[in-house]
Structure 1
Amino acid sequence: MREDLKGKLDESVPEDVTLSDAKKRQILNAAQSQCETRKPSRVPKLVPALVGVAVIGLSVILGYPYVSDWQEHGAVEEKNLEEPLQVEPLQEEPLQKEPLRKVELPVNDNPQLINAVFYNDNGVFVYQEAQKIFSYNVETKEEVVLTEVPEGTWINGVTVEDDWVAWTEVLEENMDSSSVLNIYNLNTSELITISDLNALSLVIDGDQLSFLDFGSEGPTYKLLDLKTMEETAIYQSIEGADSMQAFNDGIIVIPDIREEQNVTKLTVFDANEKEIINEFEVPSKTTMNIQFDDNKIYAYLADENFVSTLVSIELETGEMTEFDSPEFSVFSVHGKYVALSVAEAGTATVKLFEMDGSSLVMLPALDSVEERLWKPRFMGDGTLVVNSGEEDIGLYLLDTTAID
């Protein structure tokens, strides 16, 4: 081994660079020591090649100071290398994460996946099918029944956030009767049931649930602390709305139509401080799909001809921006990204856009998908979830953090 190392060292040092015998011995000793202490490769046939690479690498690294000095001063100076020689371990290139992938869930009906919620951190979907609510791990292919209701009972408004799943149940034979609100903790498997509550429009943010209660006091938006079960009345609806309330980052945005004025009033409630912090009016009584993200309210306004306009409202200033967008029917927002369901080849599919002022720049992130895409929605971590096709039961997941 030592003779082989010596030969490779002599070959690798330039002819016009002279190393003393002591220097050669020091380099050889260090190289031999590195080769003896290196862990064996999982593929033994690669060991000789790796040793050769390591020796050549050592020779180049150790010979560089002498070549540099020779170029500057015309001669090589002896240096006292008392510190132990170190060789940086070979680093493997990290695997590139594919931003777009398709997943298939074990369901029998594609529409059941319309409101399926995905958690990218642990690869789990939560969804409803018939009288059951499931969780499904896309990595392990494990499906778990979270709850099952009796025949003749209708599950409505399943919503999922962090550790919580909430839904209402009502008897199909008497849909006008009071519903039962169910709250399930994914960590503890504890189920809490609240009876005689006509609750709709369930939205969870953190450990709080916002809902619309059609009780004896009239339709009232309420807030429920899921840890303490403390209930707070927020706002009593007057004329109703074409959109659910938005609830994100501790802020609830509640729409309420003003028919005569042809406007929609937006009431902004701070769920942490338990107080109304702002009110806005938007110039349309048809204000739909309200969302709150990055301190802005988003919605689309429809005119009498059902032409849609995407707008945003700054929470602090009330400044409204109308986006120059193609005609669309559904949208979802996260950060700088907007997913729109737009017309294409006689049907509609989902495209991803990036906001640039009041303009939207279309990105090619979904162009490789030949199937029709529908029902875009962003998860909290920035993953875009879209349903695919007409007959094929599946969804596409797009990690927007990996497309920059």
Structure 2
Amino acid sequence: MAAVRRHKRVAAAQPGFLPVKSSLDGNSSVIKPRKRVNKNKKKSWNKFSDIQDVEEFLDDVRLQERATGGLISEKTDDSLFFVDTGETDEKDTQKGKHSKPLRIDLILQPDSHIPAPKNVLAFQQPNAKKQRRISENAAKLAAMGVLPRREKLLQLRRAAAASGVSVKEHPVANNNPDRAFYDLWSAGTPEMADPYYLEQTKKKLVKRPDRLNEKPSVLPAIEVIAPGGSYNPDFFSHQDLLREAHEVEVKKQKAEEKLTRQLAVNEDKATEESTFKEQVEGLIEEEEIEPKEPEGDTEDTVIGPTATQEKKTEKQRKKEKAKRIKVKNRSLHKKLWNKNTKVDAVVTCCSLIGIESVLFFRRFQTPDLDVQLSDELASSLRSLKPEGSILKDRFKSLQKRNIIEPRERARFKRKYKLKYSEKRAFREIE
């Protein structure tokens, strides 16, 4: 406590010190009686030490530095006071207001020699790199004499406005008596709106390319059957249809018989040996030739090779295996090469003929005719039995018109063999 009072007296005894607050005056301060406490510990020392007067003195010094830029005792009279003569110059005051900054602004200005960090976010622009690239490309195109679409449209509008011609004609209102006459009940209605607007709103179809209107085949989508195929046909028409179906069946039967003849195995087929025997038969007399018995003991003789075959080494077996794999790969490569050669030949022939693309490599097979015999004809539609399938007919029509390629029905191939096992109940019954 004594040290605090001594520090206070030393600060107040400095020459020219003027306290701003009246509480710092030594006469007005009331000295409280000293309280006797034990200060042998840091906690007690911090708790019972009175430093209020020191804090007040330091606050007053800080206030003087903020208000006047330093201690008042160190300032001159001219900086603290001014002489009021009663005369005011408006020009000088206005000029001073605008030219001289405020004192508070000068105080708030940084006085550090280290510059403030640059705010990068204040200088950033969204999509700056993209906009710079677009502007550079536009400058290059402008140097080459190429203008963007927006500039071209702007020039057209300016030229049209200068010549007095409207660029876009507005549609005529329905209640305008000067509009063109059209028939209300005609097949086509006039397009009063903008064509681009109609296309975007799906009210007008987009113009189809000409290649989409070309049909892959000249055949009709639905072929009309022969007159003999109706439910109550004419006699001669029905006979013509039966004759046509009969000719198809005869062709199939002939093809099957031809295939059977080609695949038949002739057991009495002449060979070279049989032909030679027939030629020399009767010319040479056959003599009975008795087999000669080998001399010596037959028991000790051994028939067949006496030396046993040596076992192959692992190296020899590997060589033989590699040789077999090489031969197999060579034959497979040869088959693939022959297949690719045939495909290339087909494509070359089609290109020479003028066909752009080949859709299939199988020939289209005409389906069987749906025909009923004379005794199967029904007298009414109620008793008529359906023939054929609509789905199969449409599928064959698509193949015939070159819309899809001819196909064969996938054959069912069982992955694993069936396993038969007898159950216990079945064995008990037996």
The TM-score normalised by the length of structure 1 is: 0.14
Larger Rg: 2
Q: Which has the higher contact order (CA 8 A, sep 6+)?
A: 2
Structure 2-normalised TM-score?
0.13
Which has the larger strand fraction?
A: 1
More helix as a share of residues: 2
